[in-house]
Amino acid sequence: MTQRLSSPWRIGVDVGGTFTDLVLVDAAGQVLPFKSPSNPADPEAGVLAAVDLAATRLGLERRALLQGCTLFVHGSTIATNTLLERKGARVGMVTTAGFRDSLELRRGIRHDPWNHRAPYPEVLVPRSRRHAVVERLDATGAVLTPLDEASVHAAAAALAAQQVEAVAICLLHAFRNPVHEQRVAAILRAALPGVALSLSSEVAPVIGEFERGSTTVVNAFVAPRVVPYLQALERRLAEDGLPHGLLLVQSNGGAIAVAEVAARPVQLVLSGPAAGVGAIRFFGRDSGSANLIAIEVGGTSCDVTLSHQGIIGMTDQLEVDGHHLAIPAVEIHTVGAGGGTIARRDAAGMLQAGPQGAGARPGPACYGLGGEYPTVTDCQLILGRLRPGPYAGGAISLDLGRAVAAVETHLAVPLGISVEAAAAGVLRLVEQTIQHAVEKVSIERGYNPRDFTLIACGGAGPLHGPATARAMGCRAVYVPRLAGVFCAFGMCNTDVRQDHVRGWLSPLDNPADPDLARMRTAFAELRAEAEAGLDRQGFAAADRRFVTALDLRYAGQQWPITVVVEEIAAAPLRAAFEAAYQQLYGFLQEGGRIEVVSLRLAVIGGLPELALEVAADDAAATPVPIETRPVWLDPVHGVRPTPVFDGATLRPGQRIPGPAVVDEATTTLLVGVGETLRVTGADNYLIEFAEAADVRA
């Protein structure tokens, strides 16, 4: 393949466990995806291999490809995998005396009321490497017991003997006053040269000794593996011609320079999936809707993200493999529903789909790789929505006979229903799971899905899109053509973003107003610090944006609500909080006192948005189907002869009335009865509903 590129271009590289996706978007809006195998043993070589693959295919040298690139954004699972595979540094910990077990006590949390047998994941720092120092601050940050430096020296000696590579320092109330943590760090730095230090007051200055400590420990654990890799990669790309620095996608969906994230690599834990944010923003413009709910359905799980008026839901609390992380992250709700989700008859004689999946191996029964149990993909095949034979670019061949056998043996016969009814039932259940996940991010947050367009992506997403959208009353379904490289594409449309959170606690309605003044000062400090960071990265004043927000709650309640504010003044803050509370919970606490729990500042360095290519309207040409095959459409219409189109032949502006199937390179679309498919200006798909007819019954 040799393509004509319009310079300059952007490159997004998303390194996954198996494949590295590279997407290049040129100045004309041309989007070129490349897939190459990842190299977990040498991730730098893996990225360079992907770059070389793209260069070769484009008929360029590596240097030329890099020299023409104005934005090179990297998302990597290296931090995540370091954590999941427990291949991080040998970490020690320093805590306040009396609190060295907070990490292991984990607030007593058990997630499932009925399961107390499954063990907690092993802590990253065993008790023998957690050392207590004598010191104490009170809840306001005032010193109750001065730091006993002899106890720090003793801890340093023990840590040295234990040959730790990194140390997490987490002292009580340090988010209020870092003085003791800083002094401990100074002593350790002298005593333990070459050992990386993570301070809780820097990594995650939030209240909660378990949450802050766990985050700091994960930071210490991944830093020595992640930071040198990123620095080396950046150096290498610069040597090979990249004119600007490497940017990384953080868990908050924004990008950040290597130098800025080196102290807090824990921010990269959700690096890959969070990059979807940039893609969602772009798709919002292309679909003409500011309100979007994205479902990304892969082999084993479905990730749901909501964007309202262009703002993506965020959270501060994540759990990755049982490790708690208090970092600003895109809120992604994940449920076990994907192509490989296994269906079975449960002990009570009911059909069940998930949450267990068959994974890539053995995978669905129809893959013929040894999978015995029926999966969602098997059901799609039985119902004619997928075509038997070569699949996913020819890597796998789908065997209808195996799918039928699996559904028959494990579902249809035991349940006493037909194979088709069982297959349709499995889809219905998995779509209900997806639907509940969508309800969680929308209805439970006070949003009405009727105001949203559903983005269906991931290889298995588009087949479920219309049914889910109709069940939720969404307006339309948008399917990006490159559903399979969603995140790498998103990296090409990202901004630089840094989220600052500062723990706080003060009443909002203090008539004397000193708290408001203190808050304004605190925000001014945060902003000055942020401006300095943007200066270093060379952002022009016009490209800088700051979003000020407060976490507010009724005094006495536990759960705050984040409210974006223009000015720090009591009346507008109260109004904004009450509006948000009303929307979320449907009532107000009349006369309730409001308190400020934390201050937030999002600092954004805007990068130019991707051009939304509006290609020449080619609607005159009528699309021609490649075949017509019987496809089970929905419970009302059952199986119908349905035209099948090759996505590669469709052009912007063209329309196809449902029912229809569209085969794409990495996914398949189903357009139902009463639906119309339109190819958008940026060459993606929009499925619109004629009327809100409900086909659930």
Partner 1 sequence: MSFDPVLLAVIQNGLRQVASEMDLVHEKTSFSPVISEGLDRANGIYHKDTGEVIAQGETGLPSFIGVMQFSTQHIIRLRKDLEDGDVILVNDPYLGGTHLMDVRMLAPFHYAGKLWCYLSNTGHWSDTGGMVPGGFTSTATEIQQEGLRIPPVKLVRRGEIDADILAMVLGNIRVPEERLGDLRAQLGALKVGARRLTELLDRYGADVVEAAIEELKARSERLMRAHIATIPDGVFEGTSYCDSDGVVFEKLAIKLRMEVRGDDISFAFTGSSPPCKGPMNCPADLATSAIYVAMKHVFPDVPINAGCFTPIRVTPPRGTFLDAQYPRPCAGAAAEVCQRVMEAVFIAVGQAMPERVFAAPFGTSGNFSLGGYDPVEDRRYIMYMFSGGGYGGWPEGDGLTNGCSTLSIAKTQPIEILEQHFPVIYEEYALREGSAGPGEHRGGFGLNYRVKLLRGEARASFVMDHGVTGPPGLLGGAPGGMLAIEVGQHGTVSLPPHVSKGEGYVLEPGDWVQVRTPGGGGYGEPAARDPALIARDIRRGYITPEEAEADYGRRIAAE
Question: Across-strand partners of 655?
Answer: 678
416: contact with partner 1 by CB under 8 A: yes
CB of 482 to partner 1, least distance (A): 33
- Contact with partner 1 (CB under 8 A) among 2, 113, 395, 541: 113
Q: Is 436 in the site for partner 1 (CB under 8 A)?
A: yes
**Token digits of residue 89:** 């540094």
Hey, which residues between 192 and 211 contact partner 1 (CB under 8 A)? 207-211
**Minimum distance of partner 1 from residue 579's CB (angstroms):** 15
Q: Is 74 in the site for partner 1 (CB under 8 A)?
A: no
- The answer to the question of residue 115 lying near partner 1 (CB under 8 A) is yes
Report the site for partner 1 in 356-375 (rule: CB under 8 A): none
Q: Tell me how far the alpha carbon of residue 415 is from its chain's centroid.
A: 38
Q: Could you tell me the smallest distance in angstroms from the CB atom of residue 127 to partner 1?
A: 4
Question: From the CB of residue 111, how many other CB atoms can be counted at a distance below 10 Å?
Answer: 8
Tell me: does residue 378 bind partner 1 (CB under 8 A): no
- What is the nearest approach in angstroms of partner 1 to the Cβ of residue 429? 6
Sort 502 into a burial class: Cβ within 10 Å, 0-12 / 13-18 / 19+: middle
How wide is the angle at C-alpha 640 spanned by C-alphas 639 and 643, nearest 5°? 130
Stretch near partner 1 under the rule CB under 8 A, chosen from 15-23, 49-57, 108-116, 517-525: 108-116
DSSP E strand stretches across 234-346: 247-249, 255-257, 292-297, 302-308, 311-312, 314-320, 323-330, 333-335, 341-345
The rounded distance, in Å, linking the Cα atoms of 134 and 422 is 64
Closest approach of partner 1 to the CB of residue 451, in Å? 17
Candidates 84, 191, 415, 547: give the one binding partner 1 (CB under 8 A). Answer: 415
Contact window for partner 1 (CB under 8 A) among 67-75, 287-295, 462-470, 550-558: 550-558
The answer to whether 110 contacts partner 1 (rule: CB under 8 A) is yes
The residue within the footprint of partner 1, chosen from 106, 225, 281, 464 (CB under 8 A), is 106
Indicate whether 100 belongs to the interface with partner 1 (CB under 8 A).
yes
Q: Which is nearer to partner 1, 42 or 444 (CB)?
A: 444
Contacting residue, 74, 173, 264, 333, with partner 1 by CB under 8 A? 173
The C-alpha atoms of residue 29 and residue 26 are separated, in whole angstroms, by 5
536 contacts partner 1 (rule: CB under 8 A): no
Choice between 444 and 617, CB closer to partner 1? 444
Site for partner 1 in 492-511 (CB under 8 A): 505
Query: Do the beta carbons of residue 50 and residue 20 sit within 8 Å?
Result: yes
Which of 158-166, 262-270, 438-446, 601-609 is the region at the interface with partner 1 (rule: CB under 8 A)?
Answer: 438-446
- Closer to partner 1 at the Cβ: 315 or 557? 557
Of the ranges 354-362, 420-428, 517-525, 541-549, which one interacts with partner 1 (CB under 8 A)?
420-428
Task: Decide: is 107 part of the binding site for partner 1 (CB under 8 A).
Answer: yes
Among 36, 76, 102, 668, binds partner 1 (CB under 8 A): 102
Q: 443 vs 639, which CB is nearer to partner 1?
A: 443
* CA angle (479 as vertex; 302, 438 as ends), nearest 5: 35
Residue of 200, 158, 196, 166 whose CA lies nearest to 182: 200
Among 144, 636, 639, 690, binds partner 1 (CB under 8 A): 144
Which residue from 10, 428, 464, 497 is in contact with partner 1, where contact means CB under 8 A? 428
For residue 598, the minimal CB distance to partner 1 (Å) is 12
Min CB(585)–partner 1 separation in Å: 5
Determine if 105 is a binding residue for partner 1 (CB under 8 A): yes
Number of amino acids touching partner 1 (CB under 8 A): 71
* Contact in structure between 329 and 266 (CB atoms under 8 Å): no
Instruction: For residue 514, state whether it binds partner 1 (rule: CB under 8 A).
Output: no
Site for partner 1 in 572-601 (CB under 8 A): 584-587, 589, 592
**Closest C-alpha among 332, 331, 329 to residue 501:** 329
Exposed (0-12), middle (13-18) or buried (19+): which is 49, by Cβ within 10 Å?
middle
Minimum distance of partner 1 from residue 416's CB (angstroms):
7
Strands 91-96 and 166-170: parallel
Question: Taking the complex as a whole, how short is the minimal distance between the CB of residue 235 and partner 1, in angstroms?
Answer: 41
CA distance 441 to 307: 10
User: What are the backbone dihedrals phi and psi of residue 293, each rounded to the nearest 5 degrees, phi first?
Assistant: -120, 120
Could you say whether residue 67 binds partner 1 (CB under 8 A)? no
Cα maximum dimension of the chain: 83
* Run of H or E residues at 500: strand 496-507
Residue number with CB closer to partner 1 (2 or 558): 558
Terminal-to-terminal C-alpha distance of the chain: 48
Residue 680 token pair: 């958008």
Stretch that binds partner 1, among 126-134, 216-224, 301-309, 680-688 (CB under 8 A): 126-134
Q: Is the separation of the CB atoms in 399 and 376 below 8 Å?
A: no
Instruction: Out of 319, 444, 618, 627, name the contact with partner 1 by CB under 8 A.
Output: 444
Output the smallest distance, CB 172 to partner 1, in A: 6
**Within 10 A of 531 (CB to CB), how many other CB atoms are there?**
15
Helix axes 209-239, 43-58, angle to 10 degrees: 40
Q: Which is nearer to partner 1, 222 or 383 (CB)?
A: 383
Are residues 334 and 279 in contact, defined by beta-carbon separation less than 8 angstroms? no
Exactly one of 2, 4, 41, 119 binds partner 1 (CB under 8 A); which one? 119
Per DSSP (E only), the strands in 60-124 are: 69-76, 91-96
Distance CA 59, CA 68 (A): 14
Q: Residue 487's closest CA among 54, 76, 56, 44?
A: 76
114 is a site residue for partner 1 (CB under 8 A): yes
Residue 161 Cβ vs partner 1, minimum distance, rounded to whole Å: 12
Residue 159's φ and ψ, nearest 5 degrees, are -65, -35
- Residue range at the interface with partner 1 (CB under 8 A); choices 9-17, 415-423, 493-501, 660-668: 415-423
For residues 295 and 304, the answer to whether their CB atoms sit within 8 Å is: yes
* Residue ranges in 391-410 that form contacts with partner 1 under rule CB under 8 A: none
- Least distance CB 118 / partner 1 (angstroms): 9
Residue 350 binds to partner 1 (criterion: CB under 8 A): yes
Residue closer to partner 1 (CB basis): 429 or 677? 429
Q: Does 127 bind partner 1 (CB under 8 A)?
A: yes
Residue in 611, 610, 612, 608 with CA at minimum distance from that of residue 542: 608
**Nearest C-alpha neighbor of 650 from the set 668, 614, 625:** 625
Q: How would DSSP label each residue in 520-564?
A: HHHHHHHHHHHHHHHHHTT--GGGEEEEEEEEEEETT-S--EEEE
